[in-house]
Amino acid sequence: MTLLTPVLEPMRVAELRTLTYREAMREAMRDAMRRDDRVFLMGEDVGRYGGCFAVSMGLLEAFGPQRIIDTPLSESAFTGAGIGAALNGMRPIVEVMTCNFSLLAADQIMNNAATLLHMSGGQFNVPLVIRMSTGGGKQLAAQHSHSLEGWYAHIPGLKVIVPATVEDAYGMLWTALEDPDPVLIFENSLLYNLRGEVPLEPAPIDIDTARVRRPGDDVTIITYGMSLHKSLTAAETLAEAGIEAEVIDLRSLRPLDDATYINSIAKTHRAVIVDEGWRSGSISAEIMARIVEQAFYELDAPIARVCTEEVPLPYAKHLEEAALPQLEKIVTAVKSLL
């Protein structure tokens, strides 16, 4: 499966440079720390080691140990420290190695970060950004490979964003750091080597709206993250059979931009949702419900879903590939609607 460069909205500036997704996220953090002395990064191995996925490589040398902080292996402790720093006027970026490990900090995220504004009667915002890798496909087995972003999208008080392109990885962090409330950024680990163009001068990117990455009239494919690239590849395959799929990149799972995919379905009258999470209780199930609530009479066929099989992600390569959404599954789901 080849990673495609999706159709992007026009850049704000003419001058561009090519970066990998990993480099784009690193440069976004570097730019943020240059711009604002309140911004700092903390997490496991983010300093001397340069990050588990090499995203923070070189930042310790640039900013020193006061702003690039290696933490103990205790997600609850350093996420709580990030919440405390945010409450006291700082702009922390907390890196959790994988979303599986974020469950060790779930109490801090759900019961503190997400609720303090409400529980303080609007007196205390928590301007915290939490970054974490997500997704399978790298043979890292069940404790390192799941997609839990849909879980966090269930929680009021959080924003949940999933940049799928290099441009979004570069620009969404800026916007997230300016948000007065906690923002969780899920970075699919298979995207770190993806290359793309970004503006030479950084600029913030909207984190609340979806994007049409490929126009089409026959079916709407709604997806996010790594599954965007699989869906774009599937759309090219379908086009060879005369089926034009419109591909929607959600970009944000909380809030969901209902208008973009509802408007698309009003044109295509068919929808396939591609979600690397499990089917039961998933973000795909929530999107299906919203489509039925808002656009039931626009549908000419039942809504289809392509999700990860309901098993812990296997280590064996062929089993892991069989469990995850793949090109062939997406193509088959679309053809079944037509």
Verify that 328 and 260 share a domain, yes or no.
yes
Averaged pLDDT for residues 84-94: 98
Per-residue pLDDT, 13: 44
Q: Is the dihedral of CA 151, 154, 160, 161 positive or negative?
A: positive
Per-residue pLDDT, 267: 97
Verify that 225 and 194 share a domain, yes or no.
no
Reply yes or no on whether 318 is catalytic. no
Of 166, 199, 232, the position where a domain reaches its end is 199
Q: Which of 44, 144, 229, 320 is catalytic?
A: 144
Residues 6+ apart with CB under 8 A from 318: none
Q: Which of 44, 75, 149, 276 is catalytic?
A: 75
Q: Which residue has the tokens 């976004």?
A: 28
Averaged pLDDT for residues 197-207: 88
Of 152, 179, 199, the position where a domain reaches its end is 199
Q: Which residue has the tokens 């494919």?
A: 221
Residues of the domain holding 118: 16-199
pTM: 0.93
Asked whether residue 223 is domain-assigned, the answer is: yes
Q: How many domains does the chain have?
A: 2
Per-residue pLDDT, 1: 52
Q: Indicate which CATH number applies to the domain containing 318.
A: 3.40.50.920
Report percent pLDDT > 90 for the chain.
92
Average pLDDT over the chain, rounded to an integer: 94
Averaged pLDDT for residues 24-28: 96
Reply yes or no on whether 229 is catalytic. no
Averaged pLDDT for residues 80-109: 97
